[in-house]
């Protein structure tokens, strides 16, 4: 298993180095957001390929692969529509100084992303690699699938509702507080967390002794969705953009876990 994980890491590193070179030609690196999902789908495929997999491994693969491809397509479409993300412009040196831009982008964007991709996707990789061909699925595995499906629902529907809201010119300058956004300020981030805790749960039923060491993956993902680059960073920008309207929205709407709105 260790050899297979190292094999996955080497392939991921090679891909990220190619994309790093590509970023120097573009003079920007914010397309890396879409690579996050696609990379995890690819790592699930690499883990499955060459193994004598059965239904348990195939289930974990499908869960991780579908999540990654869906998110990757969504973020790639957003990048192609909106262009460079301001977060990366602030994070990296002026691309006119190509040497400084390249060095900073290498360690601060591509290598860091690679380490985090390996960490967050580790439950899926280990679950697939540890499964044996005739392994049955327990009730806990189906509980994990149910949690995963809740997550996919919140991700997909939340992203779809927000895209429709932003596409309507009448909503310019307004805060999205309809649909799932009425119950949580971040249904897509909540869905992300549920999906990976669901994958972790299924993987734990396959090889608990090995998968327990991947617990930092979903823990870190939940932390970053709530406190680091997810909800916290998004809300900082929204407070500056929407002022009192967003303050009113935060007072009545749960920050992360969906709850009935407060009066």
Position 131 scores a pLDDT of 85
Which stretches in the chain have pLDDT values below 70?
50, 52, 133
Position 205 scores a pLDDT of 93
The two three-digit tokens of residue 164, written as one number? 């429709």
Q: Cα(39)–Cα(35) distance, rounded to whole angstroms?
A: 6
Residues 6+ apart with CB under 8 A from 100: 93, 94
Q: Which of 56, 38, 13 is nearest to 121 (CA)?
A: 38
Position 50 scores a pLDDT of 66
CA angle, 197 as apex, 159 and 187 as ends, to 5°?
25
- Count, residues in the chain: 263
Position 241 scores a pLDDT of 87
Position 240 scores a pLDDT of 87
The two three-digit tokens of residue 129, written as one number? 């690699």
Per residue in 26-52, pLDDT (tens digit) is 999 999 999 999 999 999 999 998 676
Per residue in 129-139, pLDDT (tens digit) is 988 767 778 89
DSSP three-state, residue 124: helix
Torsion of CA 38, 130, 211, 214, to 10 degrees: -40
Per residue in 118-167, pLDDT (tens digit) is 999 999 999 999 887 677 788 999 999 999 999 999 999 999 999 999 99
């Amino acid at each position: 298993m260790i050899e297979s994980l190292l094999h996955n890491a080497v392939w991921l590193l090679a891909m990220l180095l190619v994309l790093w070179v590509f970023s120097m030609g573009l003079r920007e690196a914010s397309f890396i957001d879409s690579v996050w999902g696609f990379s995890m789908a690819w790592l699930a495929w690499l883990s499955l390929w060459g193994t004598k997999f059965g239904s348990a491994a195939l289930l974990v693969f499908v869960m991780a692969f579908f999540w990654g491809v869906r998110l990757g397509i969504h973020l790639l479409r957003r990048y192609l529509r909106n262009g460079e993300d301001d977060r990366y412009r602030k994070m990296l040196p002026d691309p006119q100084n190509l040497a400084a831009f390249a060095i900073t982008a290498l360690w601060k964007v591509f290598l860091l992303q690679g380490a985090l991709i390996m960490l967050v996707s580790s439950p899926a990789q280990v679950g697939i690699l540890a499964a044996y061909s005739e392994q049955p699925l327990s009730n806990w595995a189906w509980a994990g699938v149910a949690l995963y499906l809740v997550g996919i629902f919140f991700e997909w529907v939340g992203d779809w509702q927000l895209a429709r809201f932003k596409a309507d010119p009448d909503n310019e300058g307004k805060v999205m507080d309809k649909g799932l956004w009425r119950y949580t300020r971040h249904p897509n981030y909540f869905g992300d967390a549920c999906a990976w805790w669901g994958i972790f749960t299924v993987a734990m039923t396959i090889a608990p002794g090995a998968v327990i060491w991947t617990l930092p993956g979903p823990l870190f993902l939940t932390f970053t969705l709530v406190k680091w680059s997810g909800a916290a960073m998004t809300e900082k920008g929204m407070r500056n953009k929407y002022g009192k309207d967003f303050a009113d929205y935060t007072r009545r709407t749960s920050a992360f876990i969906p709850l009935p709105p407060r009066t």
